[in-house]
Amino acid sequence: MRAHQIMERVQEEQRRWYGVKEPRQVLVVTPTYTRAFQALHLTGLLHSLRNVPYPLTWIVVEAGGTTNATASLLARSGLTFVHIPFPDRMPHDWADRHATENRMRLHALRVIRERKMDGVVVFADDSNVHSMELFDEVQKVQWMGAVSVGILAHTGAADQPRLSEEDKQNMPLPVQGPACNSSGHLAGWHMFNSLPFSGKTATVVGEAAPVLPRGLEWAGFVLNSRMLWKEVEGKPDWVKDLDAVGENGEEIENPLTLLNDPSSVEPLGNCGKKVLLWWLRVEARTDSKFPQGWVIEPPLDIVVPAKRTPWPETTTELPSELLDDKQDQEDRRLSRANKSSRPRSTTKRKGDLQGKEN
């Protein structure tokens, strides 16, 4: 415990001397909905967010309206949070779910603008995994930045066909992120190639098949919240007015929709060379039975009575069968020892007798 406190103090001093001098608040946007793995995913994410060494507000948008189970989990998180209801329910189809999550994120951005929340916006889905270095890196963004995202698309199912060595060599690099030119500026995007998975992906949530991202994922972008405000000093003209985004009901694919000139995005993470988070979609079947918020009420049913456990009672004494076996083994060992010693003594006596006769 003492060593842990010393290390924590050293890290604080390092951040004070070499880190960001005036850190901005991190505004974390997370779409979610009630399902079997919601508590599992949100619990993992909140423990990551509690380790972020900067001021942080967690903006959680819940499909179908806010629920007591989610509100209770957020209240216990120890984080500053905003719990926002979203009227539409989350669909079971993956394509429709992606579209609904995009609208939920856009809804969160409008709340940030209305409340004039100041900071760096990070899009953290509840099932993703984040490096702490990500939150250091986002402090560098001026308006909108991009980081590399690892795409974990394989299910690992036992019935998946084995790949040949040639197929393994030709598999796409499972990364989405910015690609830079020699001067360190954005030159394009490295996209996840989904062609090898054509016809093999999941269409319904909970289906035992790979789930793939659709185009550029929101998780790979961060932005200065001031670019969302109506009036702010120094706002670039290549940033769209948020009111003009999705006003006719068109689908919002990714944050590049907020820009008139996508080439102005700032590559982060050593020009995209560092993977700072991992995109993952793991869900239970939609018909899974689970306790609300994983709180068991009423108590569990008795399956095995306490006085009749399925395990045999153990004693300090060995069973009589084992004792008999051990005794037989000892007798056989002594018998072999006696037999091996007899020929040597007989030979010796014969030699003695021959010597005496001579």
For residue 76, pLDDT beyond 70 = yes
Task: Indicate if the pLDDT at residue 292 is higher than 90.
Answer: no
Q: Tens digit of pLDDT for each residue in 131-152?
A: 999 999 999 999 999 999 999 8
Where are the domains positioned within the chain?
A: 10-294, 315-358
C-beta atoms surrounding 358 within 10 Å = 5
What is the arithmetic mean of pLDDT over 293-314? 71
The per-residue DSSP string of 284-335 comes to --TT----GGG---SPPPPSS-TTS-SSPPP-SSPPHHHHHHHHHHHHHHHH
pLDDT at 358 over 60: no
Look at the pTM and tell me if it is higher than 0.85: no
d(CA 228, CA 235): 9
Give the model's confidence band at 266: pLDDT under 50 very low, under 70 low, under 90 confident, else very high.
very high
Across 82-91, average pLDDT: 97
Rounded to whole angstroms, the Cα distance separating 215 from 224 reads 22
Higher pLDDT, 323 or 89: 89
Render pLDDT for 100-113 as a digit per residue (tens, 0 to 9).
999 999 999 999 99
Which comes out higher in pLDDT, residue 77 or 11? Answer: 77
CA dihedral 247, 249, 250, 254 (to 10 degrees): 70
Of the pLDDT bands very low, low, confident and very high (cuts 50, 70, 90), residue 318 is low
Give the position of tokens 């719990």. 83
Residue 291 has a pLDDT of 74
pLDDT of 178 above 50: yes
Give the tens place of pLDDT for each residue, 21-52.
Answer: 789 999 999 999 999 999 999 999 999 999 99
Cα 90 to Cα 104, 109, 180: the distances in Å are: 10, 19, 37
Residue 353 has what pLDDT?
A: 45
Phi first, then psi, for residue 286 (nearest 5°) are -65, -20
Count the neighbouring beta carbons within 10 Å of the beta carbon of residue 49.
22
Q: Are 265 and 142 in contact (CB under 8 A)?
A: no
Count Cβ neighbours within 10 Å for each residue of 116-125 and write b for 16 or more, e otherwise.
ebebbbbbbb
Beginning with the edge strand found earlier in the chain, give each strand of the sheet holding 275-280 in spatial order.
Answer: 129-130, 275-280, 148-152, 175-180, 186-190
Question: 17-21, 276-280, 302-306, 352-356: lowest mean pLDDT where?
Answer: 352-356
Neighbours of 349 (CB within 10 A): 9
The whole-number pLDDT of residue 256 equals 95
Please check the confidence at residue 315 and state whether its pLDDT lies above 70. no
- Asked if pLDDT for residue 88 goes beyond 50, the answer is yes
Residue 274 has pLDDT above 50, yes or no: yes
pLDDT tens for each residue of 147-169: 999 998 765 554 555 656 665 66
CATH architecture type of domain 10-294? Alpha-Beta Complex (3.90)
Report, as an integer, the average pLDDT of 63-78.
96
**Coil, strand or helix at 25:** coil
At 190-247, the pLDDT tens digits run 988 777 777 778 888 888 788 888 889 999 999 999 999 988 889 999 999 999 887 7
> What mean pLDDT is reported for the chain?
84
Q: Which helix (H) or strand (E) holds 179?
A: strand 175-180
